[in-house]
Amino acid sequence: MRKLMLTILLFALACSSAFAAPAKNEVAAAIKANPQIVFDALNADKAQFLDILEAAIAERDSLERQKRFEANVANPLEPSIDPKRPHLGPLDAPITIVEYSDFLCAYCGQGSLTVQELLKLYPGQIRVFFKHYPAKPGSIEPAAIFEALGMQNKDTAWKFAELAFANQGTLVDGTGKGVAAILATLKADYKRVKKESEGREVLSRIEDDVREAKRFGIDGTPTFLINGIIVRGAVPIQEFESIINKLRAK
């Protein structure tokens, strides 16, 4: 037990600046005189020491996340918001999620499902804007189709997005057959949508999205901005909820 207490004391000494100078000096002197006691203490109860270590790391990570949150709230990123583009949720919702995504990215499919769950958890509180970061070969075509559909009917565009993420395997061959099949399911005019997807306005939107993402230091998908606070990757929904709840509390 004495060795375990020493272990705790040593670890606390290493991780905290709250120790008084005399206590630090006494521990340091004891270690210098007999450094073997450190190894004996660690070996006495490895499992309990690891539990203490993991708890300390978790507490440190929590504090760091809180610091990053406060810094991001003070200086949020400011993406361009165009209400004419496809979006979900009311335009006056207090929480805005901007999703930078790639239709051929498996993790983006997971992230999209998470956003759908958030809309259910916070009805009327979230608006979602979809932006493109087409990094994989062949991913520009479905991005352009989504935007072309959005100019005709926003609901159809979102249905296309759901089907595209659910059928990524049919999109990766680059033949266009997968896109055509999805448009047939939606009863959309393939020739018309295809022609409009190749127009300058659609391509400009995609190019603007990529430029904006790079300006924000985004280099992978999916990446999300929650009221300007960046979230990288298909993280668990709890991380989104934590940020959203803090923003709502403020």
18/154: higher pLDDT: 154
Q: Are residues 67 and 95 in the same domain?
A: no
178-196 exposure pattern, b = at least 16 Cβ within 10 A, e = fewer: bbbebbeebebebeebbeb
Question: What is the pLDDT averaged over residues 127-156?
Answer: 94
For residue 230, the model assigns a pLDDT of 95
Q: Report the distance separating Cα 36 and Cα 40, nearest Å.
A: 6
Least confident segment among 10-24, 87-101, 123-137: 10-24
For 33-60, the pLDDT digits (tens) are: 776 666 666 676 667 766 776 777 766 7
Picking from 11, 44, 74, the residue at the C-terminal end of a domain is: 74
Please indicate, yes or no, if residue 105 is contained in any of the structural domains. Answer: yes
Please indicate, yes or no, if residue 120 is contained in any of the structural domains. Answer: yes
Please indicate, yes or no, if residue 23 is contained in any of the structural domains. Answer: yes
Please indicate, yes or no, if residue 80 is contained in any of the structural domains. Answer: no
pTM for the complete prediction?
0.74
Question: What is the pLDDT averaged over residues 211-238?
Answer: 96
Which residues make Cβ contacts (< 8 Å) with residue 93, sequence separation at least 6? 124, 125, 126, 127
Question: What is the pLDDT averaged over residues 178-207?
Answer: 95
Name the most confidently modeled range: 131-140, 173-182, 202-211. Answer: 202-211
Domain that holds residue 55: 2-74
Q: Are residues 44 and 128 in the same domain?
A: no
For 72-111, the pLDDT digits (tens) are: 778 899 999 999 999 999 999 999 999 999 999 999 999 9
Q: Report the distance separating Cα 175 and Cα 213, nearest Å.
A: 28
DSSP 170: G
Q: Report the distance separating Cα 30 and Cα 34, nearest Å.
A: 6
Q: Are residues 33 and 66 in the same domain?
A: yes
Q: Are residues 13 and 135 in the same domain?
A: no
For residue 192, the model assigns a pLDDT of 94
Question: What is the pLDDT averaged over residues 123-145?
Answer: 94
Q: Are residues 125 and 238 in the same domain?
A: yes
Give the relative orientation of helices 36-44 and 21-33 as an angle to the nearest 10 degrees.
100
For residue 32, the model assigns a pLDDT of 65
For residue 73, the model assigns a pLDDT of 73
Please indicate, yes or no, if residue 14 is contained in any of the structural domains. Answer: yes
Q: Is the pLDDT of residue 215 over 50?
A: yes
Q: Are residues 215 and 154 in the same domain?
A: yes
Q: Is the pLDDT of residue 30 over 70?
A: no
Please indicate, yes or no, if residue 30 is contained in any of the structural domains. Answer: yes
Q: Are residues 189 and 117 in the same domain?
A: yes
Q: How far is CA 230 from CA 99, 152, 188, 226, in A?
A: 10, 30, 35, 6
Question: What is the pLDDT averaged over residues 138-148?
Answer: 94
Q: Are residues 198 and 233 in the same domain?
A: yes
CATH of the domain at 114: 3.40.30.10
Q: Report the distance separating Cα 129 and Cα 47, nearest Å.
A: 47
Percent of the chain having pLDDT more than 90?
63
Helices (H), the chain: 2-15, 21-33, 36-44, 46-74, 106-121, 140-152, 154-166, 177-185, 190-197, 200-215, 237-249
pLDDT band at 2 (very low <50, low <70, confident <90, very high): very low
Please indicate, yes or no, if residue 36 is contained in any of the structural domains. Answer: yes
Q: Are residues 117 and 181 in the same domain?
A: yes
Q: Are residues 130 and 244 in the same domain?
A: yes
Please indicate, yes or no, if residue 81 is contained in any of the structural domains. Answer: no
Q: Are residues 113 and 65 in the same domain?
A: no
Picking from 28, 48, 74, the residue at the C-terminal end of a domain is: 74
Picking from 11, 41, 74, the residue at the C-terminal end of a domain is: 74
Domain count, the chain: 2
DSSP 169: G
Q: Are residues 129 and 243 in the same domain?
A: yes
